[in-house]
Amino acid sequence: MKKKRSIPTISFTDINLKQKKNKVYKSLIRGIIEALETNLDEIKVCEIRGVDAHLTIHKDDWLEGLNKALEFYIEREKYEKCAKINILIEKIKTII
């Protein structure tokens, strides 16, 4: 059985911190993969601490999010992640 995806929790003060971006982008990538497998139109990327809310992204915005994640991982020379993101980008372009 597949392990359930963990959604990171961030606070409003964490949103722009670089150390949280990796967790958020990982959640974005995993969420999109999961959504493609289960035919969902939106994903929860992270939970906002203290306000009982989630940051969700509709499939119309997945390409923009993946492009930002790609830039992030290129800067950090995480080329395996970049390859995975590029595959997702191409897959999404064929269905949207």
pLDDT given at position 48? 84
Contact partners, residue 91, CB within 8 Å, separation at least 6: 36
Q: How far apart (Å, rounded) are the C-alpha atoms in residues 29 and 86?
A: 11
85 Ramachandran zone, left/alpha/beta (phi>0; psi -120 to 50): alpha
Average pLDDT over residues 60-85: 97
* Residue 45 and residue 31 in contact, taking contact as beta carbons nearer than 8 Å: yes
Q: What is the mean pLDDT of residues 51-69?
A: 94
pTM, entire model: 0.85
CA distance 48 to 37: 25
For the chain, what is the mean pLDDT?
88
Q: Which two tokens stand for residue 82?
A: 């970049």
Range 11-31 average pLDDT: 80
Mean pLDDT in residue range 37-55:
90
Residue 3 has pLDDT above 80, yes or no: no
